[in-house]
Amino acid sequence: MNAATDWNEIDDGAFREIVRAFFAANYPAELRYPMRRLHWPEIRDWYATLSAKGWAAPAWPVRWGGMGLKPDKLLIFMEEQESFGVARTPDMGITLVGPLLIQEGTEAQRAQYLPKIIAGEYLWCQGYSEPNAGSDLASLRMSAVIDGDAYVVNGQKTWTTLAQDATHIFLLVRTDQAAPKQEGISFLLVDMKTPGITVRPIRDIAGHDEFCEVFFDNVRTPRANLVGKPNAGWGIAKSLLGFERIFLGSPKQSQFALGQLERLAVANGLFADPAFADRYARLTLDVEDLSSLYRKFADDVRAGRKLGPDVSILKIFATETYSRISGLTLEAAGSAGPVRSTAEFGAGPEDALNTYLNARPATIYGGSSEIQRGIVAKNVLGL
Amino acid sequence: MSNSASDEDLGLIRASARDFARDEIARMRARAFHDGDGRIDRAQWKLLAELGWIGLMVPESRGGAGLELPALAAIVEELGPAVLPEPLVCAAAFAAGIARRGDGPAAGALLESIAAGEVFAAVAWQEGPSDFPGAPMATRASSGDAATIDGRKCFVAHAVSADGFLTAARAAEGVEIHWVNRSAKGVDIRIDRTADGGSVGELRFSHTPVSGATRVASAATGAAALASAFDDAACATSAELLGLTRRMLATTLDYLRTRRQFGQLIGSFQALQHRAVDLYVQQELSAACLRDVLPGWSANDPAQRARQASRVKARCSEAALTVGREAVQMHGAIGFTHECDVGLLLKRVVVSSARHGTAAAHRARIAAARIAETGERR
């Protein structure tokens, strides 16, 4: 198929086959089902393959080098990616910066950045959270002050995923100190090579350095790098929360972990214990019902309906189910539970610890379970 | 022959049930039943038959509507909040389901009189508190000219109202099902009352005469008829439980949005908000699993239906019990009063969550099936 293919015209089943076949033929077998985010040197070849195929940006419009997939097709693409165990690339440029510039950017910004994102020359990281602005993101304090034709940026970002690999960062910064907290925030793009930026990787409890602290000390970035209007950043950031949120509630992670738990239980003869069998059955049903709930929201997306705040329940239940499975997995492993494994791909029964530790951040990132419950209580239940 | 109702038909069926449940009289009837003698009102039963609900899944040739389980599920979900005294699922899915699948001489006429609301048939199958169809059965049916049934059945739903019993008994070749009149010789009935005002019976059969003419299902079809009707009933009861869950949660949310303490709405307290969200999650999971399971129900084979029935019954039973318990708690002392509807709803939940298998029993069935599978794989 050439770049001019209108994927949306293809029948769903056929499209799924095409995508699956491409992954099967081209994705490196040794990188399937990673237990952590991969760094750029590990995944760049795969990114190059995707880019050459014209598949680097499935959701972008064709005129900007994307596949132009509508939500139903994009859902299939992402589902196949997940089922085959294809690793996430450092994809902030694809999932957030691209849509941001297409929606809010200037022609010059689009021309400057979009082709280089597709080509994999520019890798982006997301500068949102700060030490004192986590769940309460709108209280962020990083300042950007106009000085001639530049903004001068000072402050600190944290939990910045894969900042050490990034060439650029997109920031939420405070440009009006006097305004109410959500109204003084702007969107700013910064080249990571700019003097005054220091990146310090943070080692997590699973032993990986996926996220970083990023310090800004009088960092000058051109005023042309402001996206949208000044002080409109909060609204823009919110509008970027598209239907992709549904993937924070994907059942795949739990399905995968349940399979691991089952192999472990068979190996250790645990099904003979009725108490274990009941807990296992309960988790099995949680995963199946999670899949049903996912399908309900996916059907909404396919029908062209906008996702409402109720999609938060999917994230809550998906990540908490994963967390419960990981807990029983650790228990089921018995004395082998605390043993460190060297495996980084495709968890086997021996990797209980990996699963347990990897499940921890799921209920925290992308809006913690508590934040999600607050959203549902207020916006769905009217409390 | 049965037909799949279109989405539009299902919508109409659902709307008529919703109208029926909305009637203020419905709630008054539920209260009267709760405080009554456990007998169902036969005039009302006849009305349900005339609405076509009892014979919903009975073939048109036998006087029914010839529809499938999704239609019944839609009705009982809508009727859930009304705490309908009449056991629609027990009759439409379970009793009629057995008679519909039976190959015995008594099956056809019985099916017609069930659908017409003339005969109220209870199912006497269970022998222990956690039995599933297929569990060891001690009740025996002998064969020959002077055939009899001997044994004991328990938790026979709505036994006090029953004209007779579809009685499962083990014969030489397998499980037979006979129609036994409540006045038949050698039938001893002891009645217990249930939380919602209904009844269950313990039945003892001693040399109770049966014959070819009382046979609803022979040993060739009895076990399968019982099992399939049970799974239909478990799934339909799950839909009833979802209806109850929705009402209990809606009532509780209303209370959280209006009750003030410490100078503010109690719904503004985060501890209650987060718990309310967890209840909502359970409600939505119940709805989502039924939404996935129902459309393809009839196309599944019996083993798949058993698995699906266990799946939805486990979720909907536990969700309803959880929501019911929390509904009482969040209402405070008011929730513990007879006057507050929450208690009425919860008591029906207690009954329906146990009927056609508790959550724990269904999970055990799922685990057993999975263990058997993994054992085979090794």
Work out the minimum CA distance from A139 to partner chain B, whole angstroms.
21
B145 falls in which pLDDT band (50, 70, 90)?
confident
Tell me what pLDDT residue B377 has: 58
Residue B23 in this model has a pLDDT that exceeds 70: no
Query: Are A356 and A256 contained in the same domain?
Result: yes
Higher per-residue confidence, B4 vs A77: A77
> Which tens digits make up the pLDDT trace of B247-268?
999 999 999 999 999 999 999 9
The answer, for A119 touching chain B at a CB cutoff of 8 Å, is no
Query: Are A263 and A350 contained in the same domain?
Result: yes
A89 falls in which pLDDT band (50, 70, 90)?
very high
Tell me what pLDDT residue B22 has: 80
Tracing tokens 């034709």 back to the chain, one arrives at A149
From the list B276, B363, B374, the residue facing A281 with the nearest CB is B363
Chain A residues whose CB is inside 8 A of the B367 CB are: 271, 274, 277-278, 280-281
Give residue limits of the domains in chain B.
7-115, 121-219, 224-377
Work out the minimum CA distance from B252 to partner chain A, whole angstroms.
11
Residue A369 in this model has a pLDDT that exceeds 90: yes
Work out the minimum CA distance from A299 to partner chain B, whole angstroms.
12
Query: Are A311 and A254 contained in the same domain?
Result: yes
3-state helix, strand, coil in chain B (%, to 5): 55, 15, 25
Residue B162 in this model has a pLDDT that exceeds 50: yes
Least CA distance to B264: which residue of chain A? A383
Q: How confident is the model over A273-300, as a mean pLDDT?
A: 95
Query: Are A73 and A181 contained in the same domain?
Result: no
- Give the angle subtended at the CA of B8 by the CAs of B6 and B11, to the nearest 5°: 110
A68 falls in which pLDDT band (50, 70, 90)?
very high
> Which tens digits make up the pLDDT trace of B127-139?
999 899 999 999 9
What does the mean pLDDT of chain A come to?
93
Residue B1 in this model has a pLDDT that exceeds 50: no
CATH-assigned architecture of domain B7-115: Orthogonal Bundle (1.10)
Q: How confident is the model over A100-116, as a mean pLDDT?
A: 95
B311/A289 touch (CB, cutoff 8 Å), yes or no = yes
Query: Are A229 and A246 contained in the same domain?
Result: no
| A59 within some domain | yes
B364/A376 touch (CB, cutoff 8 Å), yes or no = no
From the list B256, B364, B370, the residue facing A383 with the nearest CB is B256
CATH number of residue A264's parent domain = 1.20.140.10
Residue B26 in this model has a pLDDT that exceeds 90: no
- The tokens for B81 are 């909040």
Q: How confident is the model over A35-61, as a mean pLDDT?
A: 94
| Phi, psi values for residue B284, rounded to 5° | -70, -35
| A119 within some domain | no
Least CA distance to A318: which residue of chain B? B281
Q: How far, rounded to the nearest angstrom, does the alpha carbon of residue A276 sit from its chain's CA centroid? A: 33
Using the 3D structure, point to which of A193, A214, A233 is the last residue of a domain. Answer: A233
- Residues of A designated as active site: 244
Distance, in Å, from the CA atom of A347 to the CA atom of A355, rounded to the nearest integer, reads 8
Percentage of chain A lying above the pLDDT 70 cut = 97
Distance, in Å, from the CA atom of B378 to the CA atom of B372, rounded to the nearest integer, reads 10
Q: In the A/B pair of chains, how many CB contacts fall below 8 A?
A: 100
Using the 3D structure, point to which of A181, A208, A233 is the last residue of a domain. Answer: A233
Q: pTM of the entire structure?
A: 0.92
A348 falls in which pLDDT band (50, 70, 90)?
low
Listing DSSP states for A71-95 in one string gives HHHHHHHHHHHHHHTPPPPS-HIII
Query: Are A246 and A359 contained in the same domain?
Result: yes
B20 falls in which pLDDT band (50, 70, 90)?
confident
Place domain B121-219 in its CATH homologous superfamily: Butyryl-CoA Dehydrogenase, subunit A, domain 2 (2.40.110.10)
A266/B378 touch (CB, cutoff 8 Å), yes or no = yes
Query: Are A301 and A318 contained in the same domain?
Result: yes
Query: Are A82 and A142 contained in the same domain?
Result: no
C-alpha distances (whole Å) from A304 to each of A293, A295, A297, A299, A308 are: 17, 14, 11, 9, 12
Contact A127, A170 (CB under 8 A): yes
B289/A370 touch (CB, cutoff 8 Å), yes or no = no
Query: Are A31 and A146 contained in the same domain?
Result: no
Listing DSSP states for B178-204 in one string gives EEEETTSTTEEEEEEE-TTS-EEEEEE
Contact B216, B99 (CB under 8 A): yes
Tell me what pLDDT residue A150 has: 97
| A1 within some domain | no
The answer, for A290 touching chain B at a CB cutoff of 8 Å, is yes
The answer, for B330 touching chain A at a CB cutoff of 8 Å, is no
CATH number of residue A224's parent domain = 2.40.110.10
Tell me what pLDDT residue A347 has: 60
Specify the pairing of strand A197-202 against strand B140-141.
unpaired
From the list A280, A293, A370, the residue facing B367 with the nearest CB is A280
The answer, for A5 touching chain B at a CB cutoff of 8 Å, is no
> Which tens digits make up the pLDDT trace of A182-225?
999 999 999 999 999 999 999 999 889 999 999 999 999 999 99
Q: How confident is the model over A66-86, as a mean pLDDT?
A: 92
- The tokens for A151 are 């903004």
Contact B64, B187 (CB under 8 A): no
Residue A3 in this model has a pLDDT that exceeds 60: no
Domain assignment of residue A332, given as a range: 241-379
Mutate to test the interface with A, among B285, B294, B317 (most CBs of A within 10 A): B285
The answer, for B288 touching chain A at a CB cutoff of 8 Å, is yes
Tell me what pLDDT residue B144 has: 80
B276/A295 touch (CB, cutoff 8 Å), yes or no = no
Query: Are A371 and A266 contained in the same domain?
Result: yes
The answer, for B367 touching chain A at a CB cutoff of 8 Å, is yes
Mutate to test the interface with B, among A260, A291, A373 (most CBs of B within 10 A): A373
Domain count, chain A: 3
Using the 3D structure, point to which of A89, A105, A140 is the last residue of a domain. Answer: A89
Which CATH number does the domain B224-377 belong to among 3.40.50.300, 1.20.140.10, 3.40.630.10, 3.40.50.2300? 1.20.140.10
Helix H or strand E encompassing B121: strand B121-124
A72-81, A317-326, B143-152, range with greatest mean pLDDT: A317-326
A289/B315 touch (CB, cutoff 8 Å), yes or no = yes
| A98 within some domain | no
Least CA distance to A369: which residue of chain B? B274
**CB contact set of B22 (below 8 Å; sequence gap of 6+):** B82
Report CA Rg, chain A: 22
Q: How confident is the model over A3-10, as a mean pLDDT?
A: 82
